Amino acid sequence: MEVKKVFTKNRIKLGQFFMAALGVAILFTGSLWEETGIAGGALFLLGSILTAIATVGRMWCSVYISGYKKDVLITTGPYSMSRNPLYFFSLLGAVGVGLATRTLAFPAVIFIAFMLYYPVVVSREEERLTKIHGEDFNNYRKRVPRFFPSFSLFQEPEEYTIKPKFLRGRFSDSLWFVLMIGLLALVESLHRHGIVPVYFKLY
């Protein structure tokens, strides 16, 4: 329990430290798949597809929650299939960025870190939602899966009022996956031209 409290209190700093350490590792690491023909390109393509899905998915979630998250229990659109679709799409994007390094090691590390980090975050948010929405959230929790979407549950309204003031910031937050793909392409170029050394090579 104490470990959980320490983690919860410092989760933002821990997340920032992990991202910084991962960035440094990627900067000085190459892919052994690049030496085995088409495999490296296939991994990069798959990573790009996942990050594209994640970007669109996060924007889709933002349409529903921007300006409403603190006051209203959202249960339609992506939130009709999963209680945490924003985190689901974030996982797809993060693993996609890992695959775009043309390795399997980095997406595996990212997946494990995500599965250790986000359950604590989700539990804390669900405690807050239970206090705010009470029985409505308990019924929603019984009906809709916590993380992986159930497509058979999908439902959406004919019309939905959005709040552009809140939505703009959310859209820009979703684009960092695209930025990461561009940065990875730049790192590959720096490696290829010998500007940044490669100290390690991974599958």
Tell me the C-alpha distance between 114 and 96, whole Å: 13
Give me the pLDDT at residue 11, please: 65
Give me the pLDDT at residue 4, please: 55
Q: What pTM value is reported for the model?
A: 0.86
Tokens 């940044």 locate to 196
Mark the ranges of the chain whose per-residue pLDDT is less than 70.
1-11, 35-37
Tell me the C-alpha distance between 167 and 162, whole Å: 8
Amino acid at 132: I
Question: Two tokens at 11?
Answer: 């989760």
Give me the pLDDT at residue 16, please: 77
Tell me the C-alpha distance between 22 and 198, whole Å: 15
Task: Parse the chain into domains and list their residue ranges.
Answer: 32-157+165-202
Backbone angles phi, psi at 145, to 5 degrees: -60, 155
Question: Two tokens at 97?
Answer: 């960025």
Question: Given CA atoms 128, 131, 133, 134 in this order, what sign does their dihedral have?
Answer: positive
* Residue 98 CB-half CA count within 13 A: 21
Tell me the per-residue pLDDT of 74-120, one tens digit each, with 9 for 90 and over: 999 999 999 999 999 999 999 999 999 999 999 999 999 998 888 88
**32-157+165-202, which class in CATH?**
mainly alpha
